[in-house]
Amino acid sequence: MATHKLSLMAGDGIGPEVIAEVTKLVRWIEARGLASFAIEEDLVGGAAYDDHGEAISDAAMERALASDAVMFGSVGGPKWDAVPYSKRPEAGLLRLRKDLGLFANLRPAICYPALADASSLKRELVDGLDLLIVRELTGGVYFGEPKEVVTLENGDKRAVDTQLYTTPEIDRIARVAFELAKLRGKKVASAEKRNVMKTGVLWHEVVSRIQKESYPDIQLEHVLADNCAMQLVRRPKQYDVIVTDNLFGDILSDVAAMLTGSLGMLPSASLGAEDPATGKRKAMYEPVHGSAPDIAGRGVANPIATIASFGMALKYSLGLSDLADSLDGAIADVLASGLRTADVATRGQNAVGTSEMGDAVIAALEK
């Protein structure tokens, strides 16, 4: 049996609480002889800064690079508001994405039937919703240079972030979206702002060309990102795969999260390019939610986004697709049984804690 190298980076706030549920799952899988794991645990974010003054150490980066998959919790919090920009907790996450080359961020937004009443929209608008946001993750305004705050001669300050995309960056993320669409609803919506941004013009041009040249059977719709946000809360089921840039993807997936009931329901996979020699990709899996400092340490966070992210790791990195399907089924069963964490509990439902929810998913897997 192959041993899977898993790098665990729990991070800050509720990160350690939700990652603890992945550790339980790993032990359960091992106890049943389904797979074996070599686990490395590393600090990241504010926890790493407090420990050694950087949001991620070079040694932790080395271990992440050598792993089959990184399971990441969450980073950030008001405790580190005054930390210099380059050492902020989020810098650890951005370095992981950049140095592992994780350009494709897959964010599925699925509304489980049992949670349709917890959605921000009416049941009929979200029941059966299953959309996939494909967010470009290593380019755009998060990384473009110049990126700085300068003090002008008159004492005023000027801040600049640069939205920058090249043809190859758009080409490769578009191909990921079209390939995924082939396996799903055979349609892609590409969201940008070509009416006001040059990067939007290039994005539109490249995505159109890729579709014409390589994916003529996939239906392509271009949508302005602001309109896409509106359509997501108006008629979300019109979409199957949405491909978009780093910043718009971040925003649109938070909107999509509320359609599923909670940000605590959205998993993600961040994937690099396939190595032609091994067929493997660098990969990191994390809940879309952040560190939620308001509820950290109380054991009430929803672990489903993190558990489902681990399911994506089983599928995309560890060759355990059947187990990933069983895990998805177990999540659906637990929700159907009425168990809820506080974020998705509706009137009259008693909420359970993080650990109870994790235990219930394992119990459902055993059935």
Calpha distance 66→151 (Å, rounded) = 42
DSSP lists the bridge partners of residue 133 as 107, 242
Are the CB atoms for 203 and 190 separated by under 8 Å?
yes
Calpha distance 161→146 (Å, rounded) = 6
Q: According to the annotation, is 89 in a ligand binding site?
A: yes
Selected binder of ligand GGG within 10, 20, 43, 75 (CB under 6 A): 75
Dihedral sign of CA atoms 10, 292, 228, 127 in order: positive
- Given 5, 193, 282, 315, which residue is catalytic? 193
Residue 93 binds ligand GGG (CB under 6 A): yes
Shortest CA distance to 96 belongs to which of 134, 59, 56? Answer: 56
Question: Annotated catalytic, 226?
Answer: yes
Q: According to the annotation, is 359 in a ligand binding site?
A: no
- Given 42, 250, 328, 343, which residue is catalytic? 250
| DSSP secondary structure letter of residue 289 | S
- Given 42, 49, 112, 142, which residue is catalytic? 142
Q: Which range, of 71-79, 171-179, 223-231, 235-243, touches ligand GGG by CB under 6 A? A: 71-79
Are the CB atoms for 7 and 63 separated by under 8 Å?
yes
Fill in the amino acid letter for 178: F
Within 8 A by CB and 6+ apart from 174, the residues are: 190, 206, 207, 210, 211, 243
269 or 364, CB closer to ligand GGG?
Answer: 269
Selected binder of ligand GGG within 46, 76, 77, 200 (CB under 6 A): 76
Question: Annotated catalytic, 254?
Answer: yes
Q: According to the annotation, is 42 in a ligand binding site?
A: no
Phi/psi-derived region of residue 304, left when phi > 0, alpha when psi is between -120 and 50, beta in every other case: alpha
42 or 286, CB closer to ligand GGG?
Answer: 286
Q: According to the annotation, is 226 in a ligand binding site?
A: yes
Q: According to the annotation, is 90 in a ligand binding site?
A: yes
Q: According to the annotation, is 82 in a ligand binding site?
A: yes
Residue 358 binds ligand GGG (CB under 6 A): no
Residue 67 binds ligand GGG (CB under 6 A): no
Calpha distance 211→250 (Å, rounded) = 24
Question: Annotated catalytic, 112?
Answer: no
240 or 286, CB closer to ligand GGG?
Answer: 286
Residue 42 binds ligand GGG (CB under 6 A): no
Q: How far is the CB of 254 from ligand GGG (least distance, A)?
A: 10
Q: What share of the chain is helix, strand, coil (3-state, %, to 5)?
A: 45, 20, 35
Site for ligand GGG in 237-266 (CB under 6 A): 250
Residue 343 binds ligand GGG (CB under 6 A): no
Helix 354-366 with 15-31: angle, nearest 10 deg: 20
Question: Annotated catalytic, 193?
Answer: yes
Q: According to the annotation, is 169 in a ligand binding site?
A: no
Q: Return residues touching ligand GGG (CB under 6 A).
A: 74-76, 90, 93, 250, 286-287, 289-291
- Binding-site positions for NAD(+) read 77-90, 290-302
Question: Which residues are known to be catalytic?
Answer: 142, 193, 226, 250, 254
